[in-house]
Amino acid sequence: MFKTLISASQLAAHIDDPKWVLVDCRHDLMNLAAGRDGYAAGHLPNAVFADIETVLSGAKRGPDGAFLGRHPLPEKEALAEALRAFGIDDDTQVVAYDAHGGMFAARLWWLLRWLGHEAVAVLDGGMAAWQALGQPLSTEVPVKPHGSLSIRAPFVPTVTVREVMDNLASGRRIVIDARAADRFRGENETIDPVGGHIPGAKNRFFKDNLQADGRFKNPEDLRAEFGALVDDPQRAIMQCGSGVTACHNLLALEVAGMPGASLYPGSWSEWVGDPARPVAKGAD
């Protein structure tokens, strides 16, 4: 069972295994058709496509009309049924990949663990690592038998915006923001309507989890780098712009052997949906 990362060579040995399902998670926040267009142009053999906006996210507003962020968590049953349509069973090994260093694939990795499915891994190095081995791409869209994935106890915790607000006063937990340093400081904000960060948060840009070749750093280096920010992962809250790249930091923590951190799904985009919530700017 692969539960965090899988190498391109390891995947190649199982590419035709009927109990494995590959999921293409490519996406572009500024061009919502880019992922699906890329999939149509060429994808890993037997891979299906999961859209970040429609499959791996839910409704942007709650029953009370409150804005929940740009990529709120989907309803569990709706997500499970979408994944069953991909042919995923309880004993399926799922491999998520993208062309962005795991930026979007980590979202599916986290979501499956949220549903209680442990056998899910991200292709380390993504499509570039696959093609570097000389492995082929395909334009064929596979037809999968309907799966029987069930919803079980989650492996991953979450926190609500209320809990993050309450933590401002207590400071018992550390909030880690996965966005780029300039957006964290409140500069060059082009996605959300307000720049800055949650007061007291620390910055860990998700791309800092990667080596120059797009593969994850080794566990020892990740442990040292996260250890400088987080003394106890179970006290940590991971967030980003909309709850997607925070999953990359959560994956890196698992690779580092530091499990237990929580995801704040609404992240910055939900936080600034209410002008009453405080905003900090600058490096601290």
In the chain, beta strands by DSSP E: 5-6, 20-24, 48-49, 93-97, 120-123, 174-177, 202-203, 236-239, 262-263
Torsion of CA 46, 72, 250, 282, to 10 degrees: 130
**Contact call for residues 184 and 177 (beta carbons, < 8 A):** yes
Which among 106, 146, 130, 108 is positioned nearest to 45, based on CA atoms?
130
Q: Is 25 a catalytic residue?
A: no
Q: Which of 21, 73, 176, 240 is catalytic?
A: 240
For residues 235 and 262, give the distance between their C-alpha atoms in angstroms, rounded to a whole number: 8
Which DSSP symbol is given to 12? H
The amino acid present at 273, given as its one-letter code, is G
Specify the pairing of strand 48-49 against strand 20-24: parallel
- Are 237 and 159 a contacting pair, CB within 8 Å? yes
Just list the catalytic residues.
240
